[in-house]
Amino acid sequence: MNRTMDLFLTFAKIGLFTFGGGYAMIPLIEDNCVTRKQWISHDEMMNITVISESTPGPIAINCATYIGYKQKGIGGAVAATIGMALPSFCIIFLISLFLDRFLEIRWIANAFRGIKLAVGILILDAAIRMIRKMPKKPLAVTITACSFAAMLLISIFSVRVTSITLMLTAGLIGLTVYLISGRKEGDAG
């Protein structure tokens, strides 16, 4: 099989069979791309995970683009990335055509009233997991606490400040602290 086609199909399969997104996808990508296809080494896979943590966007897309490019240049990157996104796109597009009518059915609407209560728990849990993994440096902990408080107040009082503004401010604080502390320590992270 043509390598570009293989990239497309492999990532389409990964996109179709992983639920939950994010880190849930890493084991499946590793199984397919490291163990079976041997497109990249285990070390490279670790590298991609680290890169994904420091770059924006869906982690699965980061992996697909990286592996696709390493295998087949730009064409491979495009094939793998589109393969990754296509199953999601088709499924959600179909759902979007029916969801409104679906929610008019009483018991389904009631089921969603329950589901709504679970979503906040899941999101809070995602944050708790990230806090556990985070290196507990004073600066990092302070920024987390302050941005938590700021974002909560912004949401409650509908202040017109977006989360992007908060993130840019935090980035600037990180940079300022690094410059003031004299760059001696070498490692800023």
Partner 1 sequence: MNLLNLLIGFLKVGLFAFGGGYAAVPLIRDVVMSYGWLDPDMLTNMIAVSESTPGPIMINLATYVGSTQGNIIGALIATLAVILPSFIIILIIVKLEKKLLKNRYIQAALSGVKPCVIGIIGATGAYMILQHIFTAFPGGTVDATAAAVTAALAMIYFGSRKVTKRGIPPILLIGTAALAGVLVYGVQ
Name residues contacting partner 1, limited to 125-164 (CB under 8 A).
Answer: 125-128, 130-131, 134, 139-141, 143-152, 155-157, 162-164
| Cβ 110 to partner 1 shortest distance, Å | 4
Report the C-alpha gap between 182 and 189 in whole angstroms. 14
| Cβ 3 to partner 1 shortest distance, Å | 17
Residues 6 or more apart whose Cβ sits within 8 Å of residue 13: 32
With vertex at residue 32, the alpha carbon angle to CA 18 and CA 48, rounded to the nearest 5 degrees, is 85
| Cβ 24 to partner 1 shortest distance, Å | 8
**34/78 with CB nearer partner 1:** 78
DSSP state at residue 105: S
Sign of the C-alpha dihedral, residues 127, 132, 137, 138? positive
Among 2-10, 31-39, 67-75, the segment contacting partner 1 (CB under 8 A): 67-75
| Cβ 102 to partner 1 shortest distance, Å | 10
Report the C-alpha gap between 179 and 139 in whole angstroms. 14
78-107 residues near partner 1, rule: CB under 8 A: 81, 84-85, 87-89, 91-93, 95-97, 99, 103, 106-107
| Cβ 32 to partner 1 shortest distance, Å | 15
Query: Which amino acid does the sequence have at 174?
Result: G
Q: Is 35 in the site for partner 1 (CB under 8 A)?
A: no
Q: Is 27 in the site for partner 1 (CB under 8 A)?
A: no
Q: Token pair for residue 80?
A: 């793998």
**1/43 with CB nearer partner 1:** 43
Place of tokens 């987390």: 144
Q: Token pair for residue 162?
A: 């977006």
